[in-house]
Amino acid sequence: MRKNAILISGLGIVACLLISASVNKSSSGAPPSHTGAPGEMTCGVSGCHDDNGLNNGTATLEIEIGNKETAVSPGKTYPVKIRIKDRKVSRFGFQLVALESESLENCGELQICDSVRTKLVANAYKLQNRKYATYTFNGTDTLKEGMSEWIVNWTAPRDLKESVSFYVAAVSANDDMYDKGDHVYTSKLNLRRKKN
């Protein structure tokens, strides 16, 4: 009887640790290659935040580069702002990638300017040439109720051909420590190469 009680207690501790680890994992950055860019999924279809349809909710998601640039200069560095608004929501996340519009290869270089709220990740298995910016655990906090934003820097490649496409996916979470009941949104921004 005592052995059974110890075994059940041990199994309970292991289960708690596994649940705790999965909660921390999902709240400290999206897995690589989940922006909804060509060849990628989003967390809305990959088995986590997948019980509501993609872009099926009340949030607005925007990508803004520089001073609302419409064209970019090769070799120049720009701040890229990702902003999501969803009334009464207090937890958000995102993932961003920059791709050459035609080849869909990684375009330029993303750099972190706020290591408390953002980090860089890469995929070790597929689409290994793509680099991503995503959130940290602290980056899930809102800046004010119903709104969050993140800023990363992006340097355009010196050999930028024609245009760049930024893809972002974001989660508007209900903050119940589980993946269900959340909403996933996507957005895309195309910018052409600035003419000399």
How is the chain split into domains, by residue range? 2-193
Is the pLDDT at 23 greater than 50? The verdict is: no
Closest CA to 129 of 106, 152, 107, 145: 106
Q: What pLDDT is stored for residue 126 in this prediction?
A: 87
Q: Is the pTM of this model over 0.95?
A: no
pLDDT for res 3: 52
pLDDT in tens, 29-72: 778 888 989 998 776 555 554 566 788 889 999 999 999 999 99
Average pLDDT score over residue span 99-125: 95
* Pair 81, 151: CB distance under 8 Å: yes
Candidates 3.40.50.300, 1.10.1370.40, 3.30.70.1400, 2.60.40.4060; CATH matching 2-193: 2.60.40.4060
Nearest to 141 by CA among 119, 112, 173: 173
